[in-house]
Amino acid sequence: MTPSASIENLSVEPKKEAAAVQKFTEKKVEKMAYRGELSSMDGIGYNFENIDLSPLPKFHEFENFPDCNLSFDKLKPKTSPEKLLKGFHDCVDPIFENQLNKLNATHFSYKICSAIEKCDHISELQNVAIEEFKNDHETKWGILPNCKEENMMVTLGIGHDVKAEVLLHRTLPNTKFYGADPIIEPNLQLYSTFGKFFPFALGNQAGMNRFRVLPNQNQKTRKYTYQDVTTVELTYFLKDIANLTQIDFLWIDIEGGELTFLNFLNKGKQLDQAGITICQFNIELHPVFFDKGYEAVYNFMNQVLGENRYIFLKPMETGKGVYRLFFINVEDQKCVRKFLQ
């Protein structure tokens, strides 16, 4: 095992971006997402158009679903969480134990996506439909519920792009959306069309913190910069501001800020202590931008494997030292009954 690094004591001083990473993050966007009248609140001129929120065919299917009763197991479940967890571990454990543990944390992180990609195709997942929700710059994943009740969806880091959230909104009725980003425009106008927008960053403590953000700018380039932004502690936001106890869909893309609270997602940590359950979440991890970032990610994923709460799928490298994963809760009974049975 690689020597561990404490996530709580993780340095949040951003590292100087390598040329390859900077080139990736400044990648040109050929298609403008929104056109029409300019917003008076947008300093450089983000072009908006009306967002189509009309229901998709699947919306009407969900309208006919029975109300959720999550107090008992389904008679004919799509899959067994025990078998799903075992199948995942049978696939991923040898990769961690026999191959990647021989590497240091940095090389482990570089190789993680290609190494575990095959675990997306285990037989225990064949009856679980994992849906795509695409933005202009990324893909989010989600398992839709098998019954009808109010769903909770949280976006941490909007990044001037809400196409995936709009697709989820048009697909799944009875969903409340909560989105947070320290850059107000154009995120306020985009997200407020269908959900509640909060103008701050999320971290492991409140205050003013330096984070890597996508500033208010013309979208011909997506050039990130470091700024001091107002930060709210993650658990306080979810419990005391949004008043959430169960989050059905959580999408995290906050340019490295996730490393400051990554351990909140582990068993017994702050989210558990606050009584907050997450059924599934997408996360983009940015270890390249932080001192000891690779060690933090390495330790987090090893701990996830040992806790048997989540399985993780859909690995994708989006830049050197930047990659995405999709986590599914196979432990919580309500989450299992709502999404996996």
Closest residue by Cα to residue 277 from 320, 239, 317: 239
Spatial separation of the C-alpha atoms in residues 275 and 286, rounded to whole Å: 27
pLDDT band at 144 (very low <50, low <70, confident <90, very high): very high
Considering only residues 45 and 28, tell me which one the structure prediction assigns the higher pLDDT.
Answer: 45
Q: Specify the higher pLDDT residue, 298 or 120.
A: 120
Mean pLDDT value of segment 318-325? 87
> How far apart (Å, rounded) are the C-alpha atoms in residues 265 and 274?
12
In this structure, what is the dihedral angle of CA atoms 240, 245, 248, 251, given to the nearest 10 degrees? 30
Q: How much of the chain is helix, strand and coil, in % rounded to 5? A: 35, 25, 40
How many CA atoms, within 13 angstroms, populate the side-chain half-sphere of residue 318?
Answer: 20
pLDDT of residue 1: 38
pLDDT of residue 180: 96
Q: What percentage of residues in the chain have a pLDDT greater than 70?
A: 82
- Give Cβ neighbours of residue 64 (< 8 Å, ≥ 6 apart): none
Residues of the chain with pLDDT > 90, as a percent, come to 54
pLDDT reported for residue 14? 53
Categorize the per-residue pLDDT at 74 as very low, low, confident or very high, splitting at 50, 70 and 90.
confident
Q: Which residues contact 96 (CB under 8 A, 6 or more apart)?
A: 301, 302, 305
**Between these two residues, 71 and 19, which has the higher pLDDT value?**
71
Q: Which range (74-88, 108-122, 205-219) has the least confidence?
A: 205-219
Q: Give me the pLDDT at residue 26, please.
A: 36
Reply yes or no on whether the pLDDT at 279 is more than 90. yes
Is residue 34's pLDDT more than 60? no
Report the pLDDT value the prediction gives residue 209, as an integer from 0 to 100: 78
